[in-house]
Structure 1
């Protein structure tokens, strides 16, 4: 039985998501709303559930720290939010953090996504 390849880097996980057609990036708009890149869907925190969180740390530069949130919307569509974390976050103001804190979490085993 072939073992799945271990994914340790952000680029490995992002490539796997792309291969599976799960490349709907959800970003904060200039108007303080979250919007999907594929379907232009506008999301409220109640529309989403964080199903997995990955943290990545750079070997030598704290600015390389990143967090990847895999989310599922009420229609069962998978998307993601990616950001640096801590003082290196690319999000300005508190809107992004406030939005994330309101999204419910349901940490799941996502083996079927990456097999």
Structure 2
């Protein structure tokens, strides 16, 4: 995906919501990755990254983020947002290790260029 055509994070999130993807996976205080309001607890092997959207802040290099689009074994789609740099929303290596262990199988239908 070329970065010069990349949409903003809010634009991509809006497109995903329009396509029915409204759930987010977040790490809780027990270092578990949870879908939505405690609906499911995931292990990396339960998920597949089908698209990664990278965003770089124009004004501040610390304003960087990756939005991962994921599909679970039941076919449910969700997102994980990873902001990094000075304003990281995740601390510790548990989150990074979890992301690294998720298999990746990019699907071109999720390109929004």
> TM-score under structure 1 normalisation?
0.84
Structure 1 segments of 4+ aligned residues over 3 angstroms from their partners? none
Indicate the RMSD between aligned Cα atoms, in angstroms. Answer: 1.9
2:12 aligns with: 13
Using CA pairs under 8 Å that are at least 6 residues apart, name the structure with larger relative contact order, 1 or 2: 2
* Within-5 A mapping of 1:26-105: 26-37=25-36, 40-86=39-85, 88-105=87-104
Superposed displacement of residue 110, structure 1: 2.0
CA contact (8 A) 1:24 1:38 kept: no
For these two proteins, the number of residue pairs brought into alignment is 108
Q: Between Structure 1 and Structure 2, whose CA radius of gyration is higher? A: 1
> Which runs of 5 or more structure 1 residues have no equivalent in the other structure?
1-5
Unaligned runs of at least 5 residues, structure 2:
none
Note if contact 1:63-1:88 (Cα within 8 Å) is conserved in structure 2: yes
- Say which SS state the counterpart of residue 78 (structure 2) adopts: strand
The residue aligned with 1:3 is: none
Task: Report which of the two has the higher share of strand.
Answer: 2
TM-score scaled to structure 2, two decimals?
0.86
